[in-house]
Amino acid sequence: MMNAADESGRSDDPSAVTDNDVVEECKTIFFAGTHTTSAMLTWTALLLAMHIHWQDEARQEVLRVCGARDTPTKDDLAKLKLLGMIINESVRLYPPVVAMIRRAKEDVQLSGIHIQQGTELLIPIIAVHHDSSRWGDDVHDFNPMRFAEGATQAADHPMAFLPFGSGARRCIGQNLAILEAKLAIVMILRRFSLQLAPKYRHTPSVVTLLHPQHGAPIVFTKLSDHLN
């Protein structure tokens, strides 16, 4: 961004990248890279606490791939296929960003509908992720195996999975967010088992991002030493 600001040319150029543009982009990256990843980790932890079978399967994969290494390497993280599927299913059911807005840069025909330049379109990510015509009758179930053949094959349309947007404006932090989430979950699963606290109330709520309205009370129980 700083290079773009330096190379953008004259100050009277309407397309020039200004110092203020750089500051505003940094604010966006900070918000998107912190709060969305936090929400993604929260929902993934809750789902693992709800579904002990998948938690056990993920832990076995972590122990098998990472062995005695306390902190996984980047090569280890790439091999954690099941954990990746669990994260994908988590952000399908509970995408941190529930919708996105796109503005048409020019007149365009979309499925026979004429959209004029400047028209803003609201894309309801959470509604697309819960569309049974795309995902099947088990659309509301936690089923990581639907991602066994990859994200583009999980539904009957490759654009049905949009947790990070798509196209030229896809979130540039997607790979970093997934890597951060995998790393955190691996280090948790090696040390603790997760169970929902009795006071947990399942009430997803949108306050800028999708959060558990009443928090995410989870009981962490330290695993025996032979698993660490």
- Three-state SS string over the chain comes to CHHHHHHCCCCCCCCCCCHHHHHHHHHHHHHHHHHHHHHHHHHHHHHHHHCHHHHHHHHHHHHHHHCCCCCCCHHHHHHCHHHHHHHHHHHHHCCCCCCEEEECCCCEEECCEEECCCCEEEECHHHHHCCHHHHCCCCCCCCHHHHCCCHHHCCCCHHHCCECECHHHCCCCHHHHHHHHHHHHHHHHHHEEEEECCCCCCCEEEECEEEECCCCCEEEEECCHHHC
Q: How far is CA 154 from the centre of its chain?
A: 15
The terminus-to-terminus CA distance of the chain in angstroms comes to 42
Q: How far apart are CA 159 and CA 81, in angstroms?
A: 21
Residues 63-74 have pLDDT tens digits of 999 988 888 998
Mention the CATH class of domain 19-227.
mainly alpha
**What are the angstrom distances between the C-alpha of 134 and each of 86, 148, 160, 216, 225?**
19, 16, 7, 29, 44
pTM: 0.84
Q: How far apart are CA 165 and CA 149, in angstroms?
A: 20
- Mean pLDDT over 83-104 rounds to 94
**Lowest mean pLDDT: which of 27-31, 44-48, 94-98, 221-225?**
27-31
pLDDT at residue 8 in the model: 55
Domain ranges of the chain: 19-227
- Mean pLDDT over 42-49 rounds to 97
On the question of pLDDT at 226 being above 80, the answer is no
Residues 72-84 have pLDDT tens digits of 998 999 999 999 9
